[in-house]
Amino acid sequence: MNPSRPSAPTRWILLGTIGAIVLTILGAVWLEAVHPQLDTDGNRVEGVPPLATTDVPSCRRTVDSEPISRIRETFPRGGRVGSVQIYACPAAYDGLTVSYVGEVVGELLPRDGGAWAQVNDDDYALVTGPVVGHREHAGFNTGLSVWLDAPLVEDITAPGRPALRGDVVLLRGTILRADPDDGGGITLRATELETLAPPLEIDPPLHVLQVVVAGVLSVLALAATLWAGRVRRR
Amino acid sequence: MTAALRPDASDLGLIGYYLGKVLLGLGVLQLIPLAVALAFGEWNSASSFAIGASIAVLIWALSDALLATRRSLTWAHGMVIVALSWLFGAIVTSIPMLLSGRFSGPLPALFESMSALTTTGMSVIHDLDHTPISEDLFRHLLQISGGLGIVIVVLSVFSAGGARVSTLYVSEARDERVLPNIIRTARFIFQVASTLFVVFTSALFVALLSGGFTPGRALYHAVNLFFASFATGGFSVMQASMIYYHSPWVELLVAFVMLAGTFSFGLHLSLWRGSATEVFRHLETRTLALTSLVFFALMTFGLLRAGSYDSLEPLLRKGLFTLASAVSSTGHQVNVGDTYLYDWGVLAPAAIVGAMAIGGMASSTAGGIKAMRIGIAFKAMTHEIRRILLPESAMVITTYHAGKPQVLRDQTARAATTVLLLFIASFLVGAVVGLVYGDLDITQTLFESVSVGANIGISIGVVSPEMPSGLMAVYIVQMWLGRLEFVAVFALLGYVAALARGRAGA
């Protein structure tokens, strides 16, 4: 035996452990790859106006003043803007009247005179629907904090939840870079609301194979636990 | 064992035996979201948790049946067990995450579980706002388990005695033993966490109810907020993080929980026993207070100079909260990540980076270099300056208060500065690797690297589901190293090298 190398049992323990980890991960990857998928074609929201500009210029406060003035001069009053565009250059949109389209998610938080809502304008809201029945990944959720005046709140029927896309709404209002009524947050103070799509309930398909694997593994785990108990008592 | 024995099958068996116990704990933990998934009819989530729990229990049962031993743990064993526990724990808990379909592959799922366990709080999840309740709860449960210390918690519950597992306590980056007995220490930690859980979850529940939540949703958010905040983890139920709540009361309560999480359990014990003076005399409290004050002044000056905010309320709700989130290493955000880059000027984000680097207190749930080490490094520096200035015959003695008056020893100073330098090296490596990918500048990569390496979780926007895999892998290692404060991971590497060479220090 070569004294500079691990002994045979040690080697087998190490190789066995690494092999088990790799097999487990590959098994999980395979199981996820065969997850049944829903068709998302029908989830796209119709009637969404185009963005006023598709550019996403960024500007750093005290450093880049050119994009700020350019956006403020060229942005059409009431044009549609995306949340990513606002966050990339908040100073440019401060006080501008814009349109904004997105899905109301979570809960409506009623306060005096209206309610706060989180309105997302990502692909899950406008294109594919929630990631419960499909695997069309589109990154983080992105959206805006929106203040809805009391009459507008009544038009919201259901905010988005797991397996439910909430109302998709077209909002018109004013962007505030540091809203004093929200402790300095970036908000949209909405004055008009139009519902573009009602709530959409998703019925995620059951992954039967995953349920079978879970059942088999649970039985194996139970059997191994009983066996370990017997060995311990001996 | 003697000093230069080859690690053999029995050493690996011993390590595997204790690893199995840790994985059992993480398997049992998955039964909670499994029950929640069944209750809410989230069938696919339920089956993924059943798979995750079964794999963990299977590994434990096999290790328990085949590897059970009464051998004592050496320091080398302890270090290796802890380092592997966090790595294997992250791998095993990434299985249900991967099966959730909310991650782009095994690496992002591992990133999420490592981020949860190490209480970093960075996330790469797709479509968080539509995540099933059980899956979200699981992420938060991992954070509180990691914050309290998975190894020590699990082994305290499943091991027969404290003596055999005491070596693991220090290995898990807890260098201050709260009580002489390790089991009593673990129970005290549970006692503190449970008490604060009842108090603050109730308070958050009321605040959320008055903020417009329904009772069920208020309870769900309150529980998860407590887990993420006391663990100084920073995960959130909604992608908008703290912005979502639009409530100064919720922010205030969360700030208190974060600060409770960043307090060392030794100081919790002092408060528990009614000895508040100990808190104010402790070197770590003073260091944390002083550095926080300096960073707050810098941040406020930076925000005012940049014109980001022009009144007191935003300075407190956006500025001070962010600083508290950084100092406590929690990572809850009251701003969208881009804001730090595009709307905060230059000085204020720099102050946040400094606060994140220091982090909270040692022997707490917090991450970062730790105020204790900064305090000791500062004391060591002043010691050296005094030694140079005073006559050669003068005997220079530097003291500090940490539980009791202590004399600063070379070994203590060396240990503190070594870990401090290792953290700085980790921050720089992460920042440079980020730069290699080309699309990012040093402000972004340094901010994110410090946040990841110190287990904070405030993001400037670099971490995302679409980030490069290489950078994601580096961040996973940084989180692991940062949580274990390097020592256990280096011990593991030494052990692996010894295995390859055929010897290991005992």
B427 in contact with A at a CB cutoff of 8 Å? Answer: no
User: To probe the interface with B, which of A1, A7, A10 has the most B CB atoms within 10 Å?
Assistant: A10
Helix H or strand E segment including B342? helix B337-342
Quick one: DSSP state of residue A121?
-
User: To probe the interface with A, which of B21, B23, B127 has the most A CB atoms within 10 Å?
Assistant: B127
Contacts of A228 in chain B (CB under 8 A): 60-62, 64-65
Q: What does the alpha-carbon distance between residue A182 and residue A210 come to, in Å, rounded to a whole number? A: 45
Which has the closest alpha carbon to B130: A95, A127, A140? Answer: A140
* Amino acid, single-letter form, for residue B331: G
Q: What does the alpha-carbon distance between residue B48 and residue B99 come to, in Å, rounded to a whole number? A: 6
Cross-chain residue pair B54–A220, CB shorter than 8 Å: yes
How does pLDDT run across B212-266, given as a tens digit for each residue? 999 999 999 999 999 999 999 999 999 999 999 999 999 999 999 999 999 988 8
pLDDT in single tens digits along all 506 residues of chain B: 444 456 777 888 889 998 999 999 999 999 999 999 999 999 999 999 999 999 999 999 999 998 888 888 888 888 899 899 999 999 999 999 999 999 999 999 999 999 999 999 999 999 999 999 999 999 999 999 998 887 777 766 665 455 566 667 666 656 556 676 777 888 888 889 999 999 999 999 999 999 999 999 999 999 999 999 999 999 999 999 999 999 999 999 999 999 999 998 888 888 888 888 888 999 999 999 999 999 999 999 999 999 999 889 999 999 999 999 999 999 999 999 888 999 999 999 999 999 999 999 988 888 999 999 999 999 999 999 999 999 988 999 999 998 889 999 999 999 999 999 999 999 999 999 999 997 899 999 999 999 999 999 999 999 999 999 999 999 999 999 999 999 889 989 988 888 877 654 44
CA angle B72, B75, B81 (to 5 degrees): 80
* Chain A closest-CA separation from residue B350 CA (Å): 14
B403 in contact with A at a CB cutoff of 8 Å? Answer: no
Other CB atoms within a 10 A radius of the CB of residue A232 amount to 10
**Which A-chain residues 66-85 have CB contacts (< 8 A) with chain B?**
none
Q: Select from A61, A135, A140 the Cβ nearest to the Cβ of B343.
A: A61
How does pLDDT run across B270-302, given as a tens digit for each residue? 888 888 888 899 999 999 999 999 999 999 999
Cross-chain residue pair A214–B54, CB shorter than 8 Å: yes
CA angle A43, A49, A55 (to 5 degrees): 105
Q: Select from A107, A120, A139 the Cβ nearest to the Cβ of B466.
A: A139
The predicted pLDDT at position B89 comes to 95
Q: Select from A32, A58, A225 the Cβ nearest to the Cβ of B99.
A: A32
Other CB atoms within a 10 A radius of the CB of residue B69 amount to 12
Scanning every residue of chain A, which has its alpha carbon at the shortest distance from the alpha carbon of B214? A107
Q: Select from B51, B338, B499 the Cβ nearest to the Cβ of A214.
A: B51
Check: CB of residue B380 under 8 Å from CB of residue B417.
Answer: yes
**Which B-chain residues 126-145 have CB contacts (< 8 A) with chain A?**
126-133
Check: CB of residue B133 under 8 Å from CB of residue A162.
Answer: yes
A24 in contact with B at a CB cutoff of 8 Å? Answer: yes
Q: Name B291's Cβ contacts closer than 8 Å, sequence gap at least 6.
A: B327, B354, B355, B358, B371, B374
The predicted pLDDT at position A2 comes to 47
B14 in contact with A at a CB cutoff of 8 Å? Answer: no
Check: CB of residue B117 under 8 Å from CB of residue B478.
Answer: no
B248 in contact with A at a CB cutoff of 8 Å? Answer: yes
* Chain A closest-CA separation from residue B476 CA (Å): 17
- Helix boundaries (H) for B131-214: 133-148, 150-158, 166-171, 182-210
Cross-chain residue pair B65–A228, CB shorter than 8 Å: yes
Cα dihedral across residues B192, B195, B198, B203: positive or negative? negative
Contacts of A221 in chain B (CB under 8 A): 53-55, 57-58, 61
Helices (H) and strands (E) in chain A, counts: 7, 7
* Amino acid, single-letter form, for residue A102: G
Check: CB of residue B234 under 8 Å from CB of residue B121.
Answer: yes
Q: Give me the interface pTM, i.e. the ipTM.
A: 0.93
Q: What does the alpha-carbon distance between residue B270 and residue B400 come to, in Å, rounded to a whole number? A: 17
* Amino acid, single-letter form, for residue B442: I
pLDDT in single tens digits along all 234 residues of chain A: 444 555 566 777 778 888 999 999 999 999 999 999 999 999 999 999 999 998 888 898 877 888 899 999 999 999 999 999 999 999 999 999 999 999 999 999 999 999 999 999 999 999 999 998 899 999 999 999 999 999 999 999 999 999 999 999 999 999 999 999 999 999 999 999 999 999 999 999 999 999 999 999 999 999 999 999 999 887
A33 in contact with B at a CB cutoff of 8 Å? Answer: no
Scanning every residue of chain A, which has its alpha carbon at the shortest distance from the alpha carbon of B51? A214
Which has the closest alpha carbon to B459: B81, B102, B120? Answer: B120
Structure tokens at B248: 């100064």
Cross-chain residue pair A6–B500, CB shorter than 8 Å: yes
Exposure letters A58-94 (e unless 16+ CB within 10 A, then b): ebbbbeeeebbeebeeebeeebbbbbebbbbbbbbbb
Average pLDDT, chain B: 91
Q: What does the alpha-carbon distance between residue A115 and residue A153 come to, in Å, rounded to a whole number? A: 7
CA angle B168, B169, B172 (to 5 degrees): 80
Cross-chain residue pair B338–A87, CB shorter than 8 Å: yes
- C-alpha distances (whole Å) from B43 to each of A25, A188, B55 are 21, 38, 18
Bridge-based pairing state of the strands A185-197 and B405-407: unpaired
Cross-chain residue pair A210–B47, CB shorter than 8 Å: yes
The predicted pLDDT at position B450 comes to 97
Cross-chain residue pair A141–B127, CB shorter than 8 Å: yes
Other CB atoms within a 10 A radius of the CB of residue B99 amount to 27
Dihedral (C-alpha) A172, A175, A180, A185: value to the nearest 10 degrees? 110
Cross-chain residue pair B101–A35, CB shorter than 8 Å: yes
Contacts of B245 in chain A (CB under 8 A): 109
What is the count of residue pairs from A and B with beta carbons less than 8 Å apart? 252
A156 in contact with B at a CB cutoff of 8 Å? Answer: no
Check: CB of residue B262 under 8 Å from CB of residue B360.
Answer: yes
**Which A-chain residues 165-224 have CB contacts (< 8 A) with chain B?**
165, 177-178, 180, 182-186, 204, 206-207, 210-211, 213-215, 217-218, 220-221, 224
B6 in contact with A at a CB cutoff of 8 Å? Answer: yes
Which has the closest alpha carbon to B476: B29, B97, B124? Answer: B124
The predicted pLDDT at position B5 comes to 54
- C-alpha distances (whole Å) from B4 to each of B8, B12, B79, B505 are 12, 16, 17, 5
